[in-house]
Chains A and B, each alone.
Chain A
Amino acid sequence: ILNVEQSPQSLHVQEGDSTNFTCSFPSSNFYALHWYRWETAKSPEALFVMTLNGDEKKKGRISATLNTKEGYSYLYIKGSQPEDSATYLCAWKPSSNTGKLIFGQGTTLQVKP
């Protein structure tokens, strides 16, 4: 079974805290790793598409790293704000020949003011 695992399942932090989440995926086949941010009642918003081992991407206070050899990616949020409260999803794409993304269950972040 080829699963994508995310941890932790949920996280509660105070405003200003920095936090990070983990996404684990099978290292045997790899084409891309996607990160999405999903707020309640909205559509998932693309954060990063990562394709190369050692990739590091940054968007404002959010950054992500990728290790394809060991099959994991980290998402970091620096100085969390209440507006960062959302579910963060990662999705593994094993091949360029498919449009199928295999999603993890997500990490739900709550940032308290």
Chain B
Amino acid sequence: KAGVTQTPRYLIKTRGQQVTLSCSPISGHRSVSWYQQTPGQGLQFLFEYFSETQRNKGNFPGRFSGRQFSNSRSEMNVSTLELGDSALYLCASSYDRDGYTFGSGTRLTVV
């Protein structure tokens, strides 16, 4: 059974650019959540998509957005990148929002 796949694994962007990260959930899972981990911080919740609808949103600026497709794959977009956006971005998928399986993450570096 394939796990949660995140692409790309590593990314280097310049300040002011935008970036799109992808998350393919486990087959049959309808919920995809995104988290950010910066140095010294725990995992911070960004948003959750369930059946193509954003259900919850964390305390992040509007530069952070996402979407979910009909096949449950999700993308996260960050516009006008700032140095502080450098982080590990994790996504997690769930069938019933009771158990979550995480991907290996995308490491974003903004220079």
Contacts and interface: CB of A to CB of B under 8 A. Distances in A.
What's the interface size class on B, roughly?
20 to 34
Interface residues of A, number: 23
A99 B102 contact: no
A101 B45 contact: yes
Contacts of B92: 101
Interface string B74-111: 00000000000000001010100111111111000000
Nearest to B3: A43
Contact of A89 (B43, B97, B105): B43
Contact of A99 (B41, B56, B103): B56
B33 A100 contact: yes
Given A46-B100, A46-B101, A99 B31 contact: yes
B100 A34 contact: yes
B55 A98 contact: yes
